[in-house]
DNA sequence: AATGAATGAGCATTCATTCAT
DNA sequence: GATGAATGAATGCTCATTCAT
């Protein structure tokens, strides 16, 4: 979708239906014709972005299981964002505009829950395997780990130079390992 | 400033100079009179918000030094955001709109650097005191720790119910202690 | 026709071809397919309304002839409008929009001429029977009588409560009788 | 007001705020700037038209009192409309669009009440003077007389040629005299 | 210093119309 | 014959900006 590019580049509020339509090779009026309102269009677009983002992040990575599998997953998160900054930018634009726009908040909230649930599964499996210390509350750990991932990518988007992604990734993985291991 | 309320409640792009002026008890035209352009006004406002936010977060907390002092500081971050959600919301609104608006990005970037520098000071002091493992790269750790703090607060703003702040705070502090301790 | 309902309820300019088509159980595009343009459709619709209205009003009423027959006809006009307000509303909507839309004016003018001609027939017959004073100019009397009928119904449509139709009808009939009788 | 001209010429729904502003020698945006919405602007305009119309029609005419004074007033109504067809056209455009637009209906209804009240005063005075038959219900007579006036002017606007105003006026006055006189 | 008046640019939205199926 | 897709034009409305007090 062409609107994704606009959102990624200039933010959610710079998106105009007219420009989206024209950038997509259609007429100015098409988006307004298909969607009931701009808000509806925005919701559809955001759902699309969020779903696409979810597909990227959630896809099965063949690899180790347990704690190391989880850490690999976190590493993947860092590397993946760099490969397709466009979708990442769009996602973070939506993320940033979410408070105050209840319609978007719902989508965003759903994604967060899904992500945290996946993390929890990994954490519990790690505990069961004796690799992760059993005194953690998976739901609580999942929150800050997801937060760190998103926060780091957000800082990277804000200031690429001051956020050396590979170094941060490695430091994060080592620290999470030490934080969680039994 | 009254504009802060608007930004906190409805986002950066919902801010109109006229409304800001009127909400502040002045005329519609005042903001336009004071500032050269809306962008200039927005920059000034964001600088104001960022600075105020910095003042809150960076203020000296009498307490322990070293690793435990650092962890206390992190705890404080969690608790402080809940006390004054308005300034937190405004800050995150700016944070979210920052990419694609270079003028804001500069402010935001400066704040991030200041925060990370403070963290680095703590981390280095912790290393010097033998409390923090010496193999870390302070600059890299600072990035993800700051990211986690912001990310958690962002999730809390997005979905208050699904983000049990006290539990997450405690889990985070324990995990960071384990991650960093020598 | 479904379009009649729209015109009656919300006025002539609220009519859209798409809505008319859909309300009639067909597709949005049907009206545009049948008629060359919206104006053509509007003319056809108005002719339809006017003709239907004419059928109602002009239909043979078995009853007395002469002055009393004429007065009965006037009474019938009052009563008939209340029985089917929908067609009445549609007709008055067209009537009100007629000036400035030459295409409609033609239809409307034709109807007025037909109505006045009918009235004139009655009036002349009444004169011939010696019931109506011979010094009137039937064409002139017909104008204001028709005008009064339409005007009363128009006021009734505008403010039903303030226009007690039966009382007005009776007063009108008595007054017209006195005005015309020889 | 320039908008009056547009309404008079092409009807209420052809009025665009932009054209009204430009025709008045101002910018396209002025009307939208001053009024909260188009509906609000329309209401204000209609109130203006109605009031101006009321001023014309209600103004004191030095002349006879009683029945003859009333009839003079009716004559004046006919003649006045021809003198300033613009305001008459505008008024009738509003009148025609009134059903289905509750905001306008209120104004219109108020004017009708005022006009009928004036008529009733004349009728009662005529009864008191013994010139008008005492068996009439002034409120009911006022309705159809006002209706006739408006209806005749409406027909004249629709088809000037087929509505010989002076003849109709004279016929109307004679008939009303006969209808009402004691 | 502060304000109201006024404007132009831009946006979402509606709708008649055309076209391909 | 009937329909959905697509478009351009027009409109109400918002808002930053300028100007005259």
Q: What would the pLDDT profile of C139-178 be if each residue is shown by its tens digit?
A: 999 999 999 999 999 999 999 999 999 999 999 999 999 9
Which of D141, D152, D157 shows the shortest C-beta gap to C144?
A: D152
Contacts of residue A43, defined as CB under 8 A and 6 or more positions apart, other chains included, come to A103, A104, A107
Tell which wins on pLDDT, B15 or C100: B15
As ranges, strand F nucleotides with an atom below 7 A of a protein CB are 2-19
Tokens (6 digits) for B182: 């020598």
- Residue at shortest CA–C1' distance from E5: D30
Question: What integer best gives the mean pLDDT of chain A?
Answer: 90
With a 7 Å cutoff on the CB, does A15 touch strand E?
Answer: yes
Per residue in C121-140, pLDDT tens?
A: 999 999 999 999 999 999 99
The pLDDT-based confidence of B145 (bands split at 50, 70, 90) is very high
Confirm whether any atom of chain E, the nucleic acid strand, is less than 7 Å from CB of C175.
no
CB-side exposure of A177: number of CA atoms within 13 Å?
14
Residue A48, both tokens:
């699309």
Query: What is the CA A1 to C1' E2 distance in angstroms?
Result: 48
Note the Cα B142 to chain centre separation in Å. Answer: 14
Q: Do B125 and B136 meet the contact criterion of CB atoms below 8 Å apart?
A: no
Chains that touch D (3 or more CB pairs under 8 A): C
Would you place residue A112 in the very low, low, confident or very high pLDDT band (cuts 50, 70, 90)? very high
Nearest CA in chain A to B13: A13
Between chains, do A147 and B150 touch, taking CB under 8 Å as contact?
yes
pLDDT > 70? residue A120? yes
Q: Do D168 and C144 touch (CB under 8 A)?
A: yes
List of chain B residues whose C-beta atoms are within 8 Å of the C-beta of residue A179 = 174-176, 178-179
Mean pLDDT on B71-88: 89
pLDDT of residue C104: 85
Instruction: Find out if CATH 3.40.640.10 is the number for domain C37-180.
Output: no
Euclidean distance between CA atoms A115 and A77, whole angstroms: 12
Of A5, A1, A26, A29, the C-alpha closest to A17 is A29
Long-range contacts (CB closer than 8 Å, 24 or more residues apart) made by C21-30: none
Angle formed at CA C34 by CA C30 and CA C37, multiple of 5 degrees: 100
What are the beta bridge partners of residue C132? Answer: C181
Chain A nearest C-alpha distance from B113 (Å): 8
Q: How far is B119 from chain A (nearest CA, A)?
A: 14
Neighbours of D116 (CB within 10 A): 22
Calculate the alpha carbon distances from D12 to C100, D5, D92 in Å.
10, 10, 10
Token couple for A46 = 């955001």
- The pLDDT assigned to A62 comes to 67
Residues of B in contact with A108 (CB under 8 A): 158-159
Distance C25 CA to E3 C1' (A): 57
Q: Which residue is nearest to nucleotide E10 (CA to C1')?
A: A16
Tokens 């609220």, residue located: C14
Helix (H) or strand (E) holding B113: helix B102-128
Measured from Cα to the C1' atom, the residue closest to F9 is: A29
Q: Is A37 left (phi over 0), alpha (psi -120 to 50) or beta?
A: beta
- CA distance to partner chain C, nearest, from residue D117 (Å): 12
Q: At A34, give phi and psi (nearest 5°).
A: -80, -40
pTM of the model: 0.87
């Amino acid at each position: 979708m062409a609107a994704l590019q606009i959102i990624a580049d200039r933010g959610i509020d710079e998106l105009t239906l007219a420009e989206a339509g024209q950038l997509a090779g259609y007429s100015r009026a098409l988006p307004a014709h298909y969607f009931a309102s701009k808000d509806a269009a925005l919701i559809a677009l955001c759902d699309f972005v969020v779903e696409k983002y979810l597909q990227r992040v959630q896809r099965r990575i063949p690899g180790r299981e347990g704690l190391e599998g989880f850490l690999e997953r976190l590493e993947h998160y860092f590397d993946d964002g760099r490969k397709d900054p466009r979708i990442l930018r769009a996602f973070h634009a939506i993320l940033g505009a979410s408070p105050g726009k209840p319609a978007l908040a719902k989508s965003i909230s759903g994604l967060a829950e899904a992500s945290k649930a996946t993390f929890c599964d990994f954490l519990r499996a790690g505990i069961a395997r004796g690799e992760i210390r059993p005194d953690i509350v998976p739901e609580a750990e999942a929150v800050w780990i997801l937060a760190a991932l998103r926060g780091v990518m957000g800082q990277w988007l804000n200031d690429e130079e001051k956020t050396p992604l590979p170094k941060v990734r490695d430091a994060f993985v080592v620290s999470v390992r030490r934080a969680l291991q039994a």
